């Protein structure tokens, strides 16, 4: 091989090693993200009952306010 081929091969090896380190870093980050998703966040199925309760409470409150306003308007 010529000297230029040796240099190119060394650069390729260095690039491959760099890519391998990047892949290892990405794997670690994905593991961290998966752990956070599993431990810290709520799924839609777990959140649905709470969402229904909150929407129901807000709806009842708004109906009460609108009814009170209509009662004030109608009585005058």
CA-to-CA dists, residue 75 to 68, 69, 70, 71, 72, angstroms: 11, 10, 8, 6, 5
Same domain? 51 vs 70 = yes
pLDDT digits (tens, 9 = 90+) for 10-21: 788 888 999 999
Same domain? 52 vs 35 = no
Same domain? 16 vs 48 = no
Same domain? 2 vs 37 = yes
Q: Which domain holds residue 5?
A: 1-41
Same domain? 2 vs 33 = yes
Radius of gyration of the chain (CA): 31
Same domain? 59 vs 74 = yes
* Contact partners, residue 1, CB within 8 Å, separation at least 6: 9
CA distance 59 to 3: 78
pLDDT digits (tens, 9 = 90+) for 47-63: 999 999 999 999 999 99
Give CA torsion, residues 65, 67, 70, 72, to 10 deg. -70
Number of domains in the chain: 2
């Amino acid at each position: 091989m010529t000297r230029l081929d040796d240099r190119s091969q060394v650069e390729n090896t260095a690039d491959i090693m760099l890519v391998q380190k990047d892949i290892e870093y990405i794997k670690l980050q994905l593991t961290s993200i998966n752990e956070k998703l599993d431990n810290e966040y709520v799924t839609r199925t777990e959140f649905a009952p709470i969402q229904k309760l909150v929407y129901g409470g807000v709806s009842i409150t708004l109906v009460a306010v609108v009814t009170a306003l209509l009662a004030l308007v109608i009585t005058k």
